Amino acid sequence: MNIGFIGLGNMGAPMAKNLAAAGHAVTGFDVAAPAPEGVQTGESAAAAAAGQEVVITMLPDGKILRAVAGEVLPAMQKGAVLLDCSTVDVESTRAVAEQAARAGVLAVDAPVSGGVGGAEAGTLTFMAGGPAEAFEKVKPLFGVMGRKAVHCGDAGAGQAAKICNNMILGVTMIATCEAFALADRLGLDRQKMHDVVSTSSGYSWVMNAYTPAPGIGAASPADNDYRPGFAAELMLKDLRLAQQAAQAVDADTPMGHSAMELYESFVEQEGGKGMDFSAMLPRFEKRRRGG
């Protein structure tokens, strides 16, 4: 396929590179980053998007997505697909989908999980929203950049799935870390705690596959001085998006709200920036009840 790729950062560059390596003709554009191996450089976002069958965006936030969509949509041919893989607010996604529809372009939102490692290895998971016809068109590209793609519903459904999943993940990480810290104070051995919980009703992906205690359970960033992995500030971004969405639709999400506040103080006041999101465990270890 002829593909435009806007946003060649930590995630976008390896995704674009994998598409080019699979034989697609990829023209990229980024305001700062260079095009990776196999990807041609466009002179502007509009130039990279002109005449392409699919234009992929991988950008930092909804405001930038809206601006880039404003540039590329007029240059795109009718019937082409604008595939946004960024994690952004649901409102921006829906606004861009409406703008695309007016331009005769099909919009798909398909945020990813899997991080930079998944982008490099081509093992990302895509959660997609948009018309079924558009999802089918870009499905082969999901197969190159990732391992799994789920069509979740109409425009915005992909972003909704992503923030719901990551809200559960953030809350579960905090619950697991505070339980380990409580076990420490109760004199319960961490290995024993893991043996019990990982096979009991408290088990989770966090406890079983991403154990936040060093040397216990699954290999994880905890075994590597809490280097990310999935950085705490990226978890904070997703928890903020979840709260923004919850506010917009008047949903009561007290645990998601608490998780956002905890990651906020961890990242902004307690040195958590640049650490894996599981570094909540050493945070709880050091603290006492109430602060």
Binding stretches for ligand NAD (CB under 6 A) = 6-12, 29-33, 45, 58-60, 64, 67-68, 86-87, 112, 115-116, 234, 237
Query: Cβ 29 to ligand NAD, closest distance in Å?
Result: 6
Between 53 and 89, CB nearer to ligand NAD: 89
The one-letter code for the residue type at 29 is F
Phi, psi of 55 (to 5 degrees): -120, 120
Q: Is 78 marked active-site?
A: no
- Say which of 17, 137, 162, 237 is annotated catalytic: 162
- Where do the DSSP E strands lie in 52-205? 54-57, 81-84, 106-109, 112-113, 124-129, 146-153
Query: Cβ 6 to ligand NAD, closest distance in Å?
Result: 5
Between 36 and 212, CB nearer to ligand NAD: 36
| Contact predicate 63/92, CB 8 Å | yes
Query: Cβ 134 to ligand NAD, closest distance in Å?
Result: 20
Between 58 and 239, CB nearer to ligand NAD: 58
In the structure encoding, which two tokens stand for residue 208, read together? 């079983």
Between 88 and 100, CB nearer to ligand NAD: 88
Rounded to an integer, what distance in angstroms lies between the CA atom of residue 77 and that of residue 49?
9
Query: Cβ 270 to ligand NAD, closest distance in Å?
Result: 21
Between 9 and 153, CB nearer to ligand NAD: 9
Query: Cβ 86 to ligand NAD, closest distance in Å?
Result: 4
Active site amino acids: 162
